[in-house]
Structure 1
Amino acid sequence: MPSVDRLDITDYYITYMDKATQYGRVFEHFDEDGDGRISAKELRQCVEAIGGELTEEEAEAAMEYLDADGDGLVGFEDFVRFVEGGKEEEKVKDLKEAFKMYEMEGSGCITPKSLSRMLGRLGQSRSIDECQVMISRFDLNGDGVLTFDEFKVMML
């Protein structure tokens, strides 16, 4: 029977490979001439194929934004970085929403009292002392509360 660690690694590998395969398929769809790079023209054609509009200037601006090596084309690595970056922004947005639930009335930080209150609402009753210990594990500046940046480190 495989160990838990081996299963976790296998699950991660399968997930990663599925994601890479999916990204590859989308990238190949954009890369109409099959040269391994997406041009501004190819980007415009794909956007138009799905019913959108992209001017030549907008396509060139997108190329500049996405192109890491400055060759005027978007390679697979640039494409993946763009797709993954969007997911990172989504994660941060979700974390900000979660943070607001735990923070103390707009104070910009999670206090032991606000953490205790929120955990109680979630059915996980904890004393303020227990919450102080929980916070201290991720309280990078030692001020006894969690800022959003500290919360983000804890959650990611």
Structure 2
Amino acid sequence: MVASREFSLAFLSFDRDNDGKISAAELRLCMKATLGEEVSTEDAATLVASVDTDGDGLLSEEEFLKLVNMERDDTEEEERCRGLKEAFQMYEMKGEGCITPLSLKRMLSKLGAHQDVGECQAMICRFDLDGDGVLSFEEFKTMMDQ
């Protein structure tokens, strides 16, 4: 978990009543003031509960930092997924929604790697989990995680 001075200062500014804890109400107010995000009472309570390890319904500084890191991880995963979608679209045939041996061959040729269709078929076969002979986006993600 990353603990930086910036987030410690944010914690202090969110702790409006200076009790060393952030309530769901304080979290809502500060998210609106600092991020411009309108968070419902229920969503704020859910956020607090998601990292409230001592069950007091409040966020200690440590719990707050855990929440910040969870949010950052979610953002990084969303960015990674967006990048994978862009890469997938480069390899797929327009409108097919999958990577075929022919579309893989075409893209590899553009990148300077000349494979025949059979070699591309073998490459796809390794990650073709449903056996349909093409790569869906989910199969492509699995391949990229290898």
Using CA pairs under 8 Å that are at least 6 residues apart, name the structure with larger relative contact order, 1 or 2: 2
Gaps of 5+ in 2: 13-17
1:132/1:38 Cα in 2 relative to 1: closer, same or farther (>3 Å)? farther
Alignment check: 8 A CA contact 1:40 1:59 kept = no
Look up the match of 2:7: 27
Q: Would you say 1:41 and 2:26 are equivalent positions? A: yes
Q: What secondary structure is seen at the aligned counterpart in 2 of 1:126?
A: coil
Q: Which amino acid aligns with 2:2?
A: A
Look up the match of 1:106: 95
Gaps of 5+ in 1: 1-18
Work out the CA distance in 1 between the residues paired with 2:143 and 2:106. Answer: 19
Task: Give TM-score scaled by structure 1 length.
Answer: 0.69
Correspondence list, 1:6-155, <5 A: 20-21=2-3, 24-32=4-12, 33=18, 35=20, 40-41=25-26, 44-45=29-30, 48=33, 53=36, 58=39, 60=41, 62-67=43-48, 68-69=50-51, 72-74=57-59, 75=63, 76-155=65-144
Work out the CA distance in 2 between the residues paired with 1:141 and 1:54. Answer: 41
Work out the CA distance in 2 between the residues paired with 1:94 and 1:65. Answer: 29
Q: Which amino acid aligns with 2:102?
A: K
Q: Which amino acid aligns with 2:121?
A: Q
Alignment check: 8 A CA contact 1:96 1:148 kept = yes
Alignment check: 8 A CA contact 1:102 1:110 kept = yes
Question: Identity of paired residues, percent?
Answer: 39
How far did 1:78 drift?
2.3
How far did 1:101 drift?
0.9
1:139/1:101 Cα in 2 relative to 1: closer, same or farther (>3 Å)? same
Work out the CA distance in 2 between the residues paired with 1:121 and 1:34. Answer: 61
Alignment check: 8 A CA contact 1:41 1:59 kept = no
Alignment check: 8 A CA contact 1:30 1:42 kept = no
Task: Give TM-score scaled by structure 2 length.
Answer: 0.73
Alignment check: 8 A CA contact 1:103 1:109 kept = yes
Work out the CA distance in 1 between the residues paired with 2:141 and 2:133. Answer: 16
Work out the CA distance in 2 between the residues paired with 1:147 and 1:81. Answer: 28
Work out the CA distance in 1 between the residues paired with 2:7 and 2:138. Answer: 34
